[in-house]
Chains A and B, each alone.
Chain A
Amino acid sequence: MMKSDNQIVLDINGQICPSCLLLTLKELNRVGAAVRDGSTEIVVLTDDRQATSTIPEAVDKMGYTTEVSGSPAGYRIRVFARR
């Protein structure tokens, strides 16, 4: 896991669901308050196709917003506060 000033990068390329989803939820449990107040965000790097559906849906139910885009290795899912 890499960290920048206000971004936590969760590189789980190679892993498949459900570990992608569960690891993302685990990270949200850890830093959820900071994500919620907008002081940080989580960027998930994954090459699992299923994760591009399951992660946005699950975190949306928890009150966060996601943005999915392609990356050279797969996909980049940004999880941040709902504004």
Chain B
Amino acid sequence: MGESAYTLIIATSAFVGLVAGFFMHRSDFCVTAMFRDVFLVRDFFLLRMLLLLIVASMLLFEFSRLGGLLSPYPFPLLGPGSLATLIAGALFGVGMVLAGGCVVGTLYKLGAGSVVALVAFAGLLTGSALYAEWHPWWSDFARATTPHEAITLPQLVGIEPVFLILPLAVVGAVVLYRWQLRGLLVRKAYARGHIAPWQTALVLVVLGFVSWFLIGMPLGITTSYAKIGAGIESLFLPDRVQALAYFQVQGLNYTPPFADTPVQGGAGPQLDAVAAIQYPLIGGIVLGAAVSAVSVGEWRLRYRIPARQYASALIGGLLVGAAARMVPGCNIWHLWGGVPILAIQSMLFLVGLVPGAWIGSRLLSRFVIR
């Protein structure tokens, strides 16, 4: 692949990350809160924002696919669903609530100066790298519990995606319209420079499209967490990293939309296509959130937090990091990218995530927040 194609990938990822980080910080667009607050305080507001994001993505992705703008389709790294996905989704749900943020929530909070988010981030890297220790038997388990090789629901039932996606999107749009009439898509906000979450949801839809159109896949970052973790581990235990099969696998192998030759990448510490796609996205989200926080005069180190919340963030981060590799894939990958195209793995992840978030909420209110 030529240098210019890599330049396009890196520039796109950095831009998408910067914009996403800025908007997520301004709206406090926390995916963890979308699920957690339903169970903790019966607050469905942010969950409605997720539905808006999914429905709008369904429409934009599907019409773009029909227009020949999205390739490859389905995007790379999506696998078939399995029992392993369901279990790992539940673990992810528990972890994200304990961590106080998901894989991107942690980043934008970190960018705004949250030290507890930094602790969760350290847990994410560690958990992601630790997964390599049990990858062989977990992948065997995933294979053994995969009922069908289809990637998406339309593939499974053997019909054109538009015949499933469009009716579901219309139903979702009607529900959203009714909520809008009842004023349920907005709420009062007093934070400086606040951007309404519905606006951020739509910005994220466009960013997902931009990423898929220019890079060949929507937003996702957690393979890089394993990669960074492997890089750190290789400083101390290089032989161990070399010996672990997970770090040798080149799971990503595809031809980006504006490239002539395929690219490869994996969770190992080397700089490859995964690093080119995801490192700038991670850096962009952190920087975008920092710019947002500085511009409203709110960037400061926030560390005055009870010790049990730090412990919770670390444990939650470890769980999320490991679970994201076990799924495989994180919440933004599946909820913002996979669910809108009815990817089976993504829908199973969501089914697991909900009870996981419930368990996490129970643990949080029982042991962490006092």
Contact = CB atoms under 8 A, between A and B. Distances in A.
A57 B43 contact: yes
A32 interface: no
A40 interface: no
Interface secondary structure of B, over-half rule: loop
A22 B37 CA distance: 11
A74 interface: yes
A11 to B, nearest CB: 9
Interface string A64-75: 000010100011
B41 interface: yes
Given A13-B304, A16-B109, A18-B369, A56 B298 contact: no
Given A50-B28, A53-B191, A74 B304 contact: no
Nearest to B29: A50
Contact of A47 (B100, B189, B298): B298
A50 to B, nearest CB: 4
Nearest to B25: A49
A31 interface: no
Contact of B33 (A47, A50, A75): A50
Contacts of A54: 37, 41, 43
A56 B116 contact: no
Contacts of A47: 298, 300, 302
B187 interface: yes
Given A47-B298, A47-B302, A22 B100 contact: no
Contacts of B109: 16
B190 A56 contact: yes
Contacts of B33: 17-18, 50
B36 interface: yes
Nearest to A14: B304
A22 B365 contact: yes
B104 to A, nearest CB: 15
B105 to A, nearest CB: 10
Nearest to B301: A14
Interface of B: 25, 28, 30, 33, 36-37, 40-41, 43, 45, 100, 109, 114, 116, 187-192, 194, 298, 300, 302-306, 309, 364-365, 368-369
12 contacts: A16-B100, A17-B28, A18-B41, A21-B40, A47-B300, A50-B28, A50-B191, A53-B191, A54-B37, A57-B43, A58-B41, A68-B190
Given A15-B306, A15-B309, A16-B109, 14 more contacts: A13-B302, A14-B302, A16-B100, A18-B36, A18-B364, A22-B40, A47-B300, A52-B189, A53-B188, A53-B189, A53-B191, A54-B41, A57-B187, A58-B41
Interface of A: 13-19, 21-23, 25, 47, 49-50, 52-54, 56-58, 68, 70, 74-75
